[in-house]
Amino acid sequence: MRDSYGHRNGFYKGFTLWFTGLSGSGKTTLSKMIADRLRRHGAKVEVLDGDVVRQHLSKGLGYSKQDRDENIRRIGFVCELLSRNGVIAIAAAISPYREVREEVRAKIQHFVEVYTCCPLEVLIQRDVKGLYKKALAGEISNFTGISDPYEPPLNPEVIVYTDRETPEESAEKIWRKLKELQLITFD
């Protein structure tokens, strides 16, 4: 059954769900889980994953602070376009610098920041992509959390602790916040 907005089983408005955190902290996993759940309810959703964006939208950018900031501004621009047109934009990008995240937040009417918090020691042990090992060996320069800073958000709407929560628990915490903020009202 569709509501008066043409959406099945409830209501949603365009918004941006911005996942930030160190490499391997669960941004992509959680963004896919939330996107899948939203789509099952009939929502229009686009996921902008940092790794994929770098291959297409930000091809040619390096890993200097200026290039990282430009990458985040580009992702933010696309999120703003999508969300103001009724689409739920989900960004999953390390986005290491607080100032540019706040700049993006200021441009998007409905912006929800999710901090995927996980201790560096746990991420080094997990090292799913083998990147921490390379960074610690000096094979990757400017690696966030090792040789380049990560500035955690000061007031994110949601903090998930991916070292002690299951992905399902973290996704449920995010879902509850979206309902609390009245961005979604699905059954």
Q: What are the residue numbers of the active site?
A: 95
Contact 16, 78 (CB under 8 A): no
Query: How far is 157 from 17, CA to CA, in rounded Å?
Result: 10
The residue to which tokens 């961005």 are assigned: 183
Instruction: Name the 3-class secondary structure at 85.
Output: coil
What is the C-alpha end-to-end distance of the chain, expressed in Å?
A: 12
CB 93 within 8 A of CB 22: no
